[in-house]
Structure 1
Amino acid sequence: MNFHQLHIFYTVAERGSFSAAASALHMTQPAVTMQIQSLEEYFGTRLLIRSTKKIELTEAGITLLPYAAKSIALVKETDNAMASHTHMLQDRLQLGSSLTIGEYFLPRLLGPFGQQYPHISIMMKVMNTTQIIEEITKHQLNFGLIEATIHHPDMVIDPVMQDELKLIVPIGHPLAERESVELEEVLAYPFVLREKGSGTRQVMESVLIHKGIDPQSLQTAMELGSTGAVKSAVEAGFGITMLSPASVKHETALNLVTIIPIRDAEFKRQFYAIHLKSTLLPLSAVTFLNFLKQQQDQQGE
């Protein structure tokens, strides 16, 4: 018996068929069948009842299932514990990232990570959440980083970083010289917004609803499909917006826009890592995700 066999057994039981497990594990169906047979030979009993419709667990299989789940959890826990002690890993990580994370958060972290773990190379694709999920399920990406939680039966969702949207106004705006403002004051001005469905827009609207404000009541001057376009419109004086301070560092340094705190509202959001439940992340991926969490913890100190 080995861990690989227990992992395969658990996935077959969870998915309900050899073909579904083979697809999830990126294996051939005969290879999955062979590993299950080897496990049954080791225990000297049948673990699965095979039928044309679906797989059912025998009494022995029912007994084994929680131990297989514990073994998977223990391996994950071990990887997490050892990740910070491993510095000579040689691996190529393929990850997907949403726009804000990929363009404004990860670039400043990849340098320090590369210095600490020079033998891990990273290939990052910036895409939307739907595309990230699709490529993960096809085993084209190890994991993804997204800006809002999802509900997907095949995915593990793990919080890794936090962010907070702030009010961004152009230099020369009536609010630009204020040290802070009330939310009610902000609503009197036209907004330049990300498109509906974007993570940034969802966070903003959910906070407004919580405050008893209908998002439809906002004076919307423009709806634009990228953070860069929103920033350009704000700089040009078409309105104000809510963005992550990380996305306007360049513009604030050039004195094109300014960040104004809103005293009576917080627009916080959580970033998440996602990967397949049926796939154990390589140690290099666990190391990278732990690095992101450590960076977040250090910023919060």
Structure 2
Amino acid sequence: MAINFHQLHIFYTVAEKGSFSSAAQALHMTQPAVTMQVQSLEEQLGVKLFVRTTKKIELTEAGRELMPYARRSIELIQETESAMASYCHKLTGRLHLGASLTVGEYMLPRLLGPFNEEYPQISVSLKVINTTQIVEEIAQHTLNFGLVEALVDHPDMQSDAVLSDELKLIVPSGHPLAKQTKITMEDALSYPFVLREKGSGTRRVMEEELLRRGVDPRGMRIVMELGSTGAVKSAVEANLGLSILSQSAVKHEVALGIVQAREIEGIRFTRSFYAVRLKSALLPMAAITFLEFLRERDLNKWL
């Protein structure tokens, strides 16, 4: 039995979309053509794959059994295309991507340039929005996937770690701590702090690590809580306080000698960024290629 991959793809899309009309729209086909291909697959397999009613369609037991095999077949074809495209770099498409603040403003812009050099025919549309909005737009199929600062607890979403990051103590270049070769947490706590707002990913990583080290974050003298990393950086530059931020976020300021990014003895603030996507959706080749780029390249030379 030689199963037609094109028909298998159409069957899978109908099952995912829940109707022949929606599948036809997604596949850029006419509805009668979609129906005919599914019927042809049913005839070839000798089973009914869908139960059709006037209002909806449902998978039969045979259809439910076929679904994971159809998905695996489609994913294998996509992986094959991606592997071959990496040799000729002629992969085309449009990537619709969402990202939370730190990764979207400070990390991705430095990675999209090298990615574009390698895959010039893939165009990227990037939205920098919060995690809740990213999840909503992925569910609505507006975004292919998103990059966020924490695991997403949602029954329809899958989260995979793809990027790592480290937070550092940020001090103005003329600050007394900038002259010390070693800085302890006790040293840092003797000065005021300017931090991101409560609930932000950056703030949460800092507080959780301090608690693990037996340091109560409530002991910090916080003089300002600001809603953006840019505002925090400006406050540190103005010598209003110290902060703890992603080293990627202050790369430019460190290079200019405006601030210093220093380690605190015995404490490392590390975190992962996660790619979140809809479990039931198949990623387009542009999205698969970009995720492979993030996983397989040495990103440190750009970040």
Q: TM-score range by the shorter chain?
A: 0.7 to 0.9
Is the deviation greater in 280-289 or in 71-80? 71-80
Give 1:156-171 correspondences, 5 Å limit: 156-171=158-173
Matching residue's letter, 2:287: A
Q: Distance in 2 between matches of 1:39 and 1:217?
A: 67
Which residue matches 1:207? 209
Cα deviation per residue 1:228-259 (whole Å; 9 max; x = unaligned)? 00001111122111111221122223322111
Is the deviation greater in 215-224 or in 83-92? 83-92
Q: Does residue 85 of the first structure (1) align with residue 92 of the second (2)?
A: no
Where 2:152 maps in the other structure, the secondary structure is: coil
Cα deviation for residue 50 of structure 1 reads 6.3
Quick one: structure 1 residues 80 and 199, their matched pair in 2 at CA, closer, same or farther if it must change by over 3 Å? farther
Q: Distance in 2 between matches of 1:197 and 1:101?
A: 16
Which residue matches 2:188? 186
Matching residue's letter, 2:267: A
Give 1:122-271 correspondences, 5 Å limit: 122-271=124-273
1:83 and 1:283 in contact (8 A); partners too: no
Where 2:177 maps in the other structure, the secondary structure is: coil
Gaps of 5+ in 2: none
Quick one: structure 1 residues 70 and 263, their matched pair in 2 at CA, closer, same or farther if it must change by over 3 Å? same
1:83 and 1:287 in contact (8 A); partners too: no
Q: Distance in 2 between matches of 1:152 and 1:33?
A: 32
Matching residue's letter, 1:252: V
Matching residue's letter, 2:92: Q
2:157 and 2:278 in contact (8 A); partners too: yes
Which residue matches 1:118? 120
Tell me the TM-score normalised to structure 2 length: 0.82
1:208 and 1:214 in contact (8 A); partners too: yes
Quick one: structure 1 residues 137 and 181, their matched pair in 2 at CA, closer, same or farther if it must change by over 3 Å? same
Q: Does residue 284 of the first structure (1) align with residue 279 of the second (2)?
A: no
Tell me the TM-score normalised to structure 1 length: 0.83
Gaps of 5+ in 1: none
Q: CA RMSD in A?
A: 3.3
Cα deviation for residue 133 of structure 1 reads 1.8
Matching residue's letter, 1:258: Q
Is the deviation greater in 70-79 or in 284-293? 70-79
Q: Does residue 67 of the first structure (1) align with residue 69 of the second (2)?
A: yes
Quick one: structure 1 residues 157 and 230, their matched pair in 2 at CA, closer, same or farther if it must change by over 3 Å? same
Matching residue's letter, 1:248: V
Cα deviation for residue 156 of structure 1 reads 3.0
Q: Among residues 252, 269, 272, which one is paired with 2:274 in the alignment?
A: 272
Cα deviation for residue 37 of structure 1 reads 4.5
Cα deviation for residue 145 of structure 1 reads 1.7
Which residue matches 1:18? 18
Q: Distance in 2 between matches of 1:256 and 1:244?
A: 16
Where 2:297 maps in the other structure, the secondary structure is: helix
Is the deviation greater in 74-83 or in 100-109? 74-83
Cα deviation for residue 36 of structure 1 reads 5.1
